[in-house]
Chains A and B, each alone.
Chain A
Amino acid sequence: MTDDSLDLPAQKLVFFGTITASLSHELKNVLATINEFSGLLDDLTRGAAAGRSLSPERLQSVCGKIQKQIRRGEVIIQRLNRFSHSVDEPGRQVDIKVVLGEICDLCHRFADLKQVALERQFPQESVLVPLDSFAFQYAVYLGIDLALQAGAEARVVTVSFATTGSACDVVIASADPMDPTLAARWSTLQQVMQHMGGEAGADGDRIVLALH
């Protein structure tokens, strides 16, 4: 959770920390699971040495599960790597669909913890725009966070975007109206969007991030 009392550069650093802490937590779970599988293999082989039966299928099953966790860990590390590089070259041409997909991936754990399904409705085609990817991801994260704070649990938050010429609107929609008490969070979101030459607005249960 970001501290809204800080200035923008400091808030961006807190955002960086929030995302990397979340990814490190996910990685810890991967390692903890591999640790259990490894321990189980050790238990099973010790049992076999002591005369208990052990089928090759059982060993293969555990090895397969370890490989699955390794692939899961690779995905998390790739996300971490892409996120770390999002601070490189602000203003370069990026595919907004890809960057939006990446921040949705990074936010899925926050949604999961609140038992909210984070869905995306993106157009088929790629949309290349010059963008400060890191600031854009921060703005979308703040929008998603505001939507997650709204209303009861067990809901759906949908992220979509539409382009008109060189303008792009990202819409974060929830079934519940946004919480008006989160004024500081709104103020930060507006600050980040202004920094990118855009603006943030609320329309009932929708947050609209407009990039010009």
Chain B
Amino acid sequence: MRVLLVDDEPELVFTMAERLELRGYEVDAVTGGEAALEKIRSVIYDVAVVDLKMPGMSGAVLLETVRQENPRLPIILLTGHGATSETEETLEDLEGKACAYVFKPVNIDELIGIMESCAKD
């Protein structure tokens, strides 16, 4: 399975990528929405895991853009927030566009379960 990871925290995203690679996944990791869009336009991924809040192109804007260009790519949103009104509003707006939401800190085995499930659907 080929996975794209997107988060503006470089040490987080590259370490998560290494952990997924140790489990046999093929992973590309980038630290911004613009770089992610370039990757999605040039590589076929089975699933993308995208941070919601990033400088420049946010995860929400990236999701909206990808949905228009590549409606079949499953996208899992990552968020650092717990249940706040702001997060809930954003997630409600994005309902039906994201495959799933995952809260940080991430449990890698749970994330893998969600990735596998999203890639199958």
Give A contacts to B, CB under 8 Å.
Answer: 21, 25, 28-29, 31-37, 39-40, 43, 47, 65, 69, 112-115, 153
Nearest-CB residue, chain B, relative to A34: B105
A residues in contact with B105, CB < 8 Å: 28, 31-32, 34-36
A153 CA / B33 CA spacing, docked (Å): 15
A29 CA / B9 CA spacing, docked (Å): 7
Known: A21-B84, A35-B105, A36-B19. A29 touches B12 (CB 8 A): yes
B46, CB-defined interface residue at 8 Å: no
| Inter-chain CB contacts under 8 Å: number | 56
Given A31, A43, A113, which contacts B19 in the complex, CB threshold below 8 Å? A43
B15, CB-defined interface residue at 8 Å: yes
Residue-wise, chain B 73-108 has the 8 Å CB interface mask toward A (1 for contact) of 000000011001000000000000000000011101
Give B contacts to A, CB under 8 Å.
Answer: 9, 11-12, 15-16, 18-19, 22, 53-56, 80-81, 84, 104-106, 108
B55/A112 in contact, CB under 8 A: yes
A137 CA / B11 CA spacing, docked (Å): 31
A202 CA / B18 CA spacing, docked (Å): 50
B88: shortest Cβ distance to chain A, in Å?
A: 14
Known: A35-B105, A40-B19, A43-B19. A28 touches B9 (CB 8 A): no
Known: A36-B15, A115-B55, A153-B56. A28 touches B22 (CB 8 A): no
Nearest-CB residue, chain B, relative to A52: B22
